[in-house]
Chains A and B, each alone.
Chain A
Amino acid sequence: NAGVMQNPRHLVRRRGQEARLRCSPMKGHSHVYWYRQLPEEGLKFMVYLQKENIIDESGMPKERFSAEFPKEGPSILRIQQVVRGDSAAYFCASSPSPSWWSEQFFGPGTRLTVL
């Protein structure tokens, strides 16, 4: 049973470009959570999605960031017009039921570097 998969593992973008980060949850998991870890910081919750629904986006920046989890395919975190401050590691986690921690499994992360 494959774990949570994220791709790409490393992404380099120039300021103003778009970044698309993908997360494939574990098999049987229909709940996805995105976290961001800025340099020298802890992980910060961004958004919680179920299939085709955004449940909680209270941690998402108000502009340029969006997330989706379609019926088919991976969850996508999209960052438009990236700026240097977006450089961070982005982690996704999945769970089989609504569960904030007890059953969340994390992916290896995508490290975004904005030049």
Chain B
Amino acid sequence: DQQVKQNSPSLSVQEGRISILNCDYTNSMFDYFLWYKKYPAEGPTFLISISSIKDKNEDGRFTVFLNKSAKHLSLHIVPSQPGDSAVYFCAASENRDDKIIFGKGTRLHILP
């Protein structure tokens, strides 16, 4: 039973436009949500996080939005750049010290 779901296996976005990656979760005990970025042949790298007490967190071109009532979060990248082409994993944990549960990932292609 998947607790963190990324229903879009892939997404293509024109360079300069906004990329929106979506994630849904089922466990209402999740309190921390994270996004990781992964290039081929590399390990994931932590991108941005949000705790359940917030509904938005912004870091440069990256913004994560959390809708707790809908159990939904999204990652917005604007403007999208060629180097953003990667697999993005949504992840969640019940608290800062608990294990991370990952989604299956969404492959983002930034088109020239």
* A interface residues, Cβ below 8 angstroms from B: 4, 9, 40-45, 48, 56, 58-59, 91, 93, 98-102, 104-109
Question: What's the dominant secondary structure at chain B's contact region?
Answer: loop
CB pair A42 B89 closer than 8 Å: yes
CB pair B93 A4 closer than 8 Å: no
What B residues does A105 contact at CB under 8 A?
A: 43, 45
What A residues does B44 contact at CB under 8 A?
A: 43, 91, 106
CB pair A43 B89 closer than 8 Å: yes
Q: Which of B11-19, B61-69, B74-82, B94-102 participates in binding chain A? A: B94-102
- Of the candidates B4, B43, B49, B105, the one whose C-beta lies within 8 Å of that of A101 is B49
CB pair B43 A40 closer than 8 Å: no
With a 10 A CB-CB cut-off, give which of B34, B100, B101, B103 has the most chain A CB atoms.
B100
Chain B interface residue number, banded: 20 to 34
Q: Which residue of A lies closest to B94 (CB)?
A: A100
Proximity string of chain B (23-53) to chain A, C-beta cutoff 8 Å, 1 when within and 0 when not: 0000000001010000001111110010000
What B residues does A93 contact at CB under 8 A?
A: 43
Question: What's the dominant secondary structure at chain A's contact region?
Answer: loop
* B interface residues, Cβ below 8 angstroms from A: 4, 6, 32, 34, 41-46, 49, 89, 91, 93, 96-105
What A residues does B42 contact at CB under 8 A?
A: 108-109
Q: Which residue of A lies closest to B5 (CB)?
A: A42
What A residues does B104 contact at CB under 8 A?
A: 40-42
Q: Which residue of B lies closest to A46 (CB)?
A: B99
What A residues does B103 contact at CB under 8 A?
A: 42
What B residues does A98 contact at CB under 8 A?
A: 97
What B residues does A41 contact at CB under 8 A?
A: 104
Question: CA–CA, A9 to B91, complex, Å?
Answer: 25
